[in-house]
Each structure stands twice: as C-alpha cells, then as structure tokens.
Amino acid sequence: MIVNIYKNLNEMILYIEENLEEEISYQKLAKFLGVNTYTMQRLFSLLTGISLAEYIRKRRLSMAGYDLYTKKEKIMDIAIKYQYENATSFSRAFEKFHGIKPSQVTTETKLKNYPKITFQEEQLEKQELDYEIIEKESFTLYGIGCNTNNDEIEKDAPTFFSEMEKKYKDLYGDIEYGMITYEETETPHEYCNGYYILYAKEIPNWKPFTFPKSKWLKFRISSSNAKDIREMSQKFYYEFLPSCKYNLKEIPELEYYHLEQQEEVTDFLVAIE
C-alpha cells in the first residue's frame, strides 16, 4: 500500500470546511498539494466529478439551509455569511439548489445536503508508467471541433473523429492531432467541454491554436484506438498526476497520431511548467 496526495486532499477539504464562512484562497488550497492553482483545480474536478467552485458553492448552500432552519437568522445575514454579495443572488442560488426560497424554510421544510467529500488515503500501488519530458518550440495547429463533456467524450470523440476523417482525409491526409479542452463550470461533469481534430498545415476557415514554447510530458501508446487513448488519459489523471508534483500549464492536452516503424502509435502530450 502507498499513501499519496489523497491525505493532502483531505486536509484541503478540512480547510474548506473550516472556511466556508470566509473567502477561500485557491492559492492556499494549491499549497496543500504542492502544485499550482490550475493543476489543483484540474485534479479536484477529475477525481471528484465536480468543479472546486461548484463543490464550495454546494457546501455553503447546504450549511445555509441548516442555519436558516435551526438558527432563524435573517436571510441577508446568511447571504453575507456565506460570501454572497446580496440577498437576491443568495436567494436565487438557494432556490436552485434546495428547490424552495429561503423565506419558505419552516419546520416542515425538505432541504438538500451536499456531503463533505472524503478521500480514501490508502491507494493500491499501480503499474509503472513510462514517459518522456520533451521541449517544443511554439507551434500552431488548425482545428475543428465538437462540444462535449466529461461523461460524453468517450463516445463523442471517436464519432467526431470518424466523421471528420471521412470528410477531410482525401483533402488533407490523415488526421494528425486530437485535442481536449476544459472549462470550469457550475455544472458537475462538464469541465471537459470540447474535442478537436487538428492539422499542422493551415486550413482555410479552421480555427488556429498557437501553443507557446513549453515542456511536455509524453506518454507513448502503441495504438490509435480511442479506447486505448482514453485508458492512458485516465491513468495519467487518476494515477500518475496525483502521485507526482508536476504543475500543468493552462494548455489543452494533445494526442499526436502517427506511424512508428510502420505501426500506428499515439503520443499523449501534457504541457507542464
């Protein structure tokens, strides 16, 4: 058995619980894990299925419901207590979460509670994972994409890839890259929000993506199969990243599809500081 950052994540959760009535610093939260704020948020979202901002919001609204029921405090006081700027924004968020207005909380009220997350600190040792650290100069890729989310990308990405391959292979050759984009939202499971196919050559009316000079972690997959690529992505985020202290850059991860000794391979690339 090994102990990794799940202990630190529990300490981070405890800090959040103790500061629900205060402004919560993402910089302080990142220090619990020894990484930057971007990496901390990505880790939290992928390990829990909910963005950090949404988790904090739901914990505050859970406690606000309890306080309104047990302490009979004024709505404005509760709003300020849980970091809302005014009673209107608090009431709107409260009703969306609990299904009733704060003014409707009574002894007969049904309220919701989003429980505190607890991480299992002892994790079974995983398989070793080979990787390289490479440095790439700034480069630009040209792509077209589809909207998706973390729950749907497993089917959306290969479907979109197949459709685009049929449409553009004769025009531009084999698809060279795949890219996943992320965006923190207030909706659980929607932190992954796009999948793109890209070429190094400029293509009219396709969106350009310029990647700055960076170091990248490269994981070689002896396949271009979507299932194998997905498996590597999950190993990286659920096993590799939590057990190391690489800081991610705010750059989308890339999948580079190519031939190596006449065999199809994929390089899974993640930019680091």
Domain ranges of the chain: 2-104, 132-272
pLDDT (0 to 100) of residue 192:
58
Q: Quote the CA–CA distance of 143 and 149 in Å, as a whole number.
A: 18
pLDDT (0 to 100) of residue 69:
86
CATH class of 2-104: mainly alpha
- List phi, psi (to 5°) of 19: -125, 25
Alpha carbons within 13 angstroms on the beta-carbon side of residue 174 total 7
- 3-state SS record for 130-198: CCEEEEECCEEEEEEEEECCCCCHHHHHHHHHHHHHHHHHHHHCCCCEEEEEECCCCCCCCCEEEEEEE
From its phi and psi, is residue 9 left (phi > 0), alpha (psi between -120 and 50) or beta? alpha
Amino acid at 95: E
Contacts of 27 (CB under 8 A, 6+ apart): 37
CATH class of 132-272: alpha beta
Contact call for residues 209 and 144 (beta carbons, < 8 A): no
Q: What are residue 141's DSSP bridge partners?
A: 209
- List phi, psi (to 5°) of 103: -70, -15
Angle at 113 between CA 102 and CA 19, to 5 degrees: 85
Contact call for residues 145 and 159 (beta carbons, < 8 A): no
Q: Which residue has the tokens 């005014």?
A: 86
Q: Quote the CA–CA distance of 16 and 29 in Å, as a whole number.
A: 8
Q: What is the pLDDT of residues 89-100, one digit of tens each?
A: 999 999 999 999
pLDDT (0 to 100) of residue 58:
94
Helices 226-235 and 153-172 pack at an angle, to 10 degrees, of: 130
pLDDT (0 to 100) of residue 2:
42
Strands (E), the chain: 2-3, 122-123, 132-136, 139-147, 177-182, 192-199, 207-211, 214-221, 253-260, 263-272
pLDDT in tens, the chain (273 residues): 344 678 889 999 999 999 999 999 999 999 999 899 999 998 898 888 888 999 999 999 999 998 888 877 889 999 999 999 999 999 999 999 999 999 988 877 788 999 999 988 766 556 678 899 999 999 999 999 998 877 788 888 999 999 999 999 999 999 999 998 877 655 444 455 789 999 999 999 999 999 999 999 999 999 988 889 988 988 888 888 887 778 999 999 999 999 888 889 999 999 999
pLDDT (0 to 100) of residue 25:
94
